Structure 1
Amino acid sequence: MSVPRQEIQELFKKLVSNESTEQETETFFQLVKDLPEDDVLIEQLDAWWDSVDAGKSRDLVQERRIWQQVREKMNPEEYLPAPVHLIYRRRTWNIAAAVLILVAAGIFLWTQRRPSVDYRQPYAQSLDADIQPGTDGAVLTLADGRKILLDSLKDGLVASQLGADITLQDGRIAYNAAGSKGAQPAWNTITTPRGRQFKVMLPDGTQVWLNAASSITYPTFFAGAERRVEVTGEVYMDVAKDARKKFKVKVNNQAVVEVTGTEFNVKAYTDEATMATTLVEGAVKLYKTTDTSCWHCPQSVISEVKPEKAVSLVPGQQGVITDNAQDQTKNKNSSGILVLNDIDKDKVLAWKNGFFNFTGMSSRDAMNQLVRWYNIEVVYEKAVPEIEFFGDLRRDMSLADVLTALEVAGVQFKVTSGRKIVVLPQ
């Protein structure tokens, strides 16, 4: 007998929103009771319970009571008498424990365009078990062109340049010497390839976190009236305060972020249509630039930056520079920068805190994150599926576990040889 999954899902949504009639409630519990214990829908319901347990629910007391009833009716012997705190024993599911913090629908990653989910055996299980999540690591390129792989180095001295010692401590690069009067600094670059992330402390004490497929170019000490660095990809910066020296970040020769001391995130991957600067604390000025001069060349040949009209951001705002024509029409200021308010900072900084946050994200953008973090190739058999995701996944999960979760959300794919994944049409 086929399982009426869609009916169970709709009844469950009514239950948790207090919209269920007595008959609908009875029907729901009977349908759930008849489900096999190893049915994938039970995993989805358990995953929803984990989201409630994490405090994400609208009404914990009501929804915990409902879920307690569900699980007791399915397996009465598995539960202890529930006192005020509704303490009970429950099994740990791989996908539930793997973190789907599922919101909105309350059961699993819902999509607006896909009315049902294909509950076939996941293709993800056929993936090579060796495709593990990314880890800390980077390549340090010195001024003379030497490259040092930082992944496996032990703590201690990494290199010395023009009197500046470069050290590795607890997985972070740091510089411990100031420049000599009249001397020119050496410029270094830290690059994170796909599948790597890294943290750097610049000579002035500024801390920088690099996401996968990112880079920062900076001097061994900051000479002159400004502190200048160049970045690509995605970085989070906690800039050391120095009112005498502004801190300027050139992003992909597209824009400049100007600060004195503040915290912000820049996302500027060249394979995406937008460049976004999100302010977490302090204040920044953001402006487009056509300046392509070499900031890490000798100081004598660095040209003055000629900014276009700037926008000032306050905490919680995001400045967006985009090639997307639809987004460009939303721009209401002369700077050419779209300013968004009330940005979800937890979503923006999810990568830094060990998560993927897919809420409101298209399938292409979600897969791009997987490409960078797991160092895989993703191609689309036909058109990119129009699926909008909601939820979080931990970045320390194996690729197979992540793809299994996305399959539940409606993404269909096949695994070919090597590290290539083909996304199938809906």
Structure 2
Amino acid sequence: MTDDQKILLLKRYMDRTLTDQEATDFFSWYYNVSADEFHNLLQRASDGGQPLVYEEASPAFLTQLNSRLTALDNKEQGAPVRKLSRLWWAAAAAVLVLAAGTWTILKRPAAKQDIAVNKPGQDIAPGSNGAILTLADGSQITLDSLGNGQISNQHGSRVILQSGSLTYDAAGASTASYNTIRTPIARQFRLVLPDGSKVWLNAASMLKYPTAFTGTDRTVEISGEAYFEITPNAQQPFRVKIDNKATIEVLGTDFNINAYTDESSIRTTLLTGSIRVNTTGGSAVLKPGQQAAIRETIQVNNEINTGQVTAWKDGIFNFDGMGVGEVMRQLTRWYDIEVIYEKNVPDIRFYGEIGRNLSLSQVLEGLKLSGVNFRIEGRKLIVLP
């Protein structure tokens, strides 16, 4: 075949328009093509390097393509940084399908050497929806398995659980008391505050809030990570206190706060509107697309991938540009595991997205192709050199 014929077959494979004879010709060529030739023709077929999306592929093709793209990425990028392109994520590690508004991923068959697990079936399931609600009187309610309906009435403020989300109806409230909702490791939860503002809590996070906003402002406290969609009310500004280290002031906006204690800084990222970040060391007003990193001082970053920041809320791990340590911290919170490094932390960065609804070994199956190997022992994830 000529190069033009091979490129045509590549494009038709992407479009799923191969005839039976063309499919035979395509796979016959593919199984024997050199890495250099494949890379060259793939670039030409993808119109100058734009990612090609594979929606369907045979397991044999994906397995072969996986090894070729990994070798090509390693050759181009060099150790210790190996790029997992979006093409890799779409074609090699998984098939991405947009269904019911969320990304799901169908895993390719794993080779025996992919992930070492102690015993057959000892994989670790992903986290799920759930939280523990502490009422004003100190009593606790586990929300994971409760049915729909009213679960409490505190001074006229009704607390209602509906379809895995908690809602407060404060229309009849005579006074305000405080509730605390906490997500354990491997849990996340959504609630609607008494003013209609929506909050999503990531794993290992906490939110303290009043059952009715009766004062001159609306103040809540958080630790861990939360995404906010605030109902505007200029006469009653909204404030978020973060571990007694910072306060976020907002009238009406969407923003994310990452305040995990094992991260290097508190990060507040603005998606819409405007917020002011206040600390003892100063303050800063953020515009949409900016992020404030809070340490001893406030550092404002203008080049933020907001989709990556909020991916967790949409059921996705987005590992673009992340190092091994940051990725492992995310896996620790979502899978309730302990991460152990057999030697030093590998100096490698990952690129790509994968669903948070996958088991741990399925996620690791993709990560290992960046040059990092793993072993699962019980609830311990051992990162190998």
Report if aligned partners of 2:292, 2:301 keep a CA contact under 8 Å in 1.
yes
Alignment of 1:33-182 (within 5 A): 37=60, 40-43=63-66, 95-97=93-95, 121-124=113-116, 126=118, 128-129=121-122, 131-178=124-171
Q: Distance in 1 between matches of 2:292 and 2:34?
A: 43
- Structure 2: which 5+ residue stretches go unaligned? 1-30, 46-58, 71-85, 98-110
Structure 1 residue 225: Cα displacement: 0.9
Q: What residue in structure 1 maps to residue 295 of structure 2?
A: 322
CA 1:9–1:321: 2 relative to 1, 3 Å = farther
Q: Distance in 1 between matches of 2:353 and 2:200?
A: 20
Q: 2:353 aligns with which of 383, 389, 392?
A: 392
Which secondary structure state, in structure 2, belongs to the residue aligned with residue 287 of structure 1?
Answer: strand
Q: What residue in structure 1 maps to residue 318 of structure 2?
A: 357
Q: Distance in 2 between matches of 1:423 and 1:283?
A: 41
Report if aligned partners of 1:132, 1:399 keep a CA contact under 8 Å in 2.
yes
The answer to whether the aligner puts 1:218 opposite 2:244 as a matched pair is: no
Q: What residue in structure 2 maps to residue 423 of structure 1?
A: 383
Which secondary structure state, in structure 2, belongs to the residue aligned with residue 382 of structure 1?
Answer: coil
The answer to whether the aligner puts 1:253 opposite 2:244 as a matched pair is: yes
Alignment of 1:226-305 (within 5 A): 226-289=217-280
Q: Residue 245 of structure 2 aligns to which amino acid in structure 1?
A: Q
Which secondary structure state, in structure 1, belongs to the residue aligned with residue 331 of structure 2?
Answer: helix
Report if aligned partners of 1:209, 1:352 keep a CA contact under 8 Å in 2.
yes
Q: What residue in structure 1 maps to residue 40 of structure 2?
A: 14
Q: Residue 252 of structure 2 aligns to which amino acid in structure 1?
A: G
Structure 1 residue 130: Cα displacement: 5.1
CA 1:179–1:383: 2 relative to 1, 3 Å = farther
Deviation per residue, 1:314-336 (Å, 9 max, x gap): 1011111137xxxxxxxxxxxx2
The answer to whether the aligner puts 1:338 opposite 2:299 as a matched pair is: yes
Specify the structure having the higher radius of gyration (Cα): 1
Report if aligned partners of 2:62, 2:91 keep a CA contact under 8 Å in 1.
no
Deviation per residue, 1:287-320 (Å, 9 max, x gap): 214xxxxxxxxxxxxxxxxxx5311001011111
Q: Residue 348 of structure 2 aligns to which amino acid in structure 1?
A: I
Structure 1 residue 14: Cα displacement: 3.3
Q: Distance in 2 between matches of 1:94 and 1:17?
A: 16
Q: Distance in 2 between matches of 1:267 and 1:249?
A: 12
Q: Distance in 1 between matches of 2:285 and 2:155?
A: 37
Q: Residue 14 of structure 1 aligns to which amino acid in structure 2?
A: N
The answer to whether the aligner puts 1:204 opposite 2:233 as a matched pair is: no
Q: 1:312 aligns with which of 285, 297, 301?
A: 285
Alignment of 1:183-198 (within 5 A): 183=175, 185-198=176-189
Which secondary structure state, in structure 2, belongs to the residue aligned with residue 359 of structure 1?
Answer: coil
Q: Distance in 2 between matches of 1:10 and 1:187?
A: 64
Q: Distance in 2 between matches of 1:346 and 1:269?
A: 19
Deviation per residue, 1:2-60 (Å, 9 max, x gap): xxx9x9555444333349xxxxxxxxxxxxxxxx947843345699xxxxxxxx67xxx
Q: Distance in 1 between matches of 2:131 and 2:158?
A: 18
**Sequence identity percentage:** 45
CA 1:384–1:10: 2 relative to 1, 3 Å = farther
- Structure 1: which 5+ residue stretches go unaligned? 20-35, 48-55, 58-91, 100-118, 290-307, 324-335
Q: Residue 387 of structure 1 aligns to which amino acid in structure 2?
A: I
Which secondary structure state, in structure 2, belongs to the residue aligned with residue 198 of structure 1?
Answer: strand
Which TM-score applies when normalising by structure 2? Answer: 0.74
**Alignment root-mean-square deviation, CA:** 2.8
Q: What residue in structure 2 maps to residue 66 of structure 1?
A: none
Which secondary structure state, in structure 2, belongs to the residue aligned with residue 346 of structure 1?
Answer: helix
Q: Distance in 2 between matches of 1:376 and 1:137?
A: 18
Q: Distance in 1 between matches of 2:127 and 2:328?
A: 15
Q: What residue in structure 2 maps to residue 24 of structure 1?
A: none
Q: Distance in 2 between matches of 1:154 and 1:286?
A: 39
Q: Residue 401 of structure 1 aligns to which amino acid in structure 2?
A: Q
Q: What residue in structure 2 maps to residue 373 of structure 1?
A: 334
Q: What residue in structure 2 maps to residue 408 of structure 1?
A: 369
CA 1:419–1:411: 2 relative to 1, 3 Å = same
Which secondary structure state, in structure 2, belongs to the residue aligned with residue 230 of structure 1?
Answer: strand
Which TM-score applies when normalising by structure 1? Answer: 0.67
Report if aligned partners of 1:124, 1:401 keep a CA contact under 8 Å in 2.
no
Q: Distance in 1 between matches of 2:40 and 2:367?
A: 24
Q: Distance in 1 between matches of 2:368 and 2:266?
A: 29
Which secondary structure state, in structure 1, belongs to the residue aligned with residue 313 of structure 2?
Answer: coil
Deviating more after overlay: 407-416 vs 387-396:
407-416
Structure 1 residue 97: Cα displacement: 2.2
Higher strand share: 2
Deviating more after overlay: 341-350 vs 201-210:
341-350
CA 1:40–1:254: 2 relative to 1, 3 Å = same
Deviation per residue, 1:59-95 (Å, 9 max, x gap): xxxxxxxxxxxxxxxxxxxxxxxxxxxxxxxxx9894
| Number of aligned residues | 311
Which secondary structure state, in structure 2, belongs to the residue aligned with residue 152 of structure 1?
Answer: coil
Report if aligned partners of 2:375, 2:381 keep a CA contact under 8 Å in 1.
yes
Structure 1 residue 159: Cα displacement: 1.2
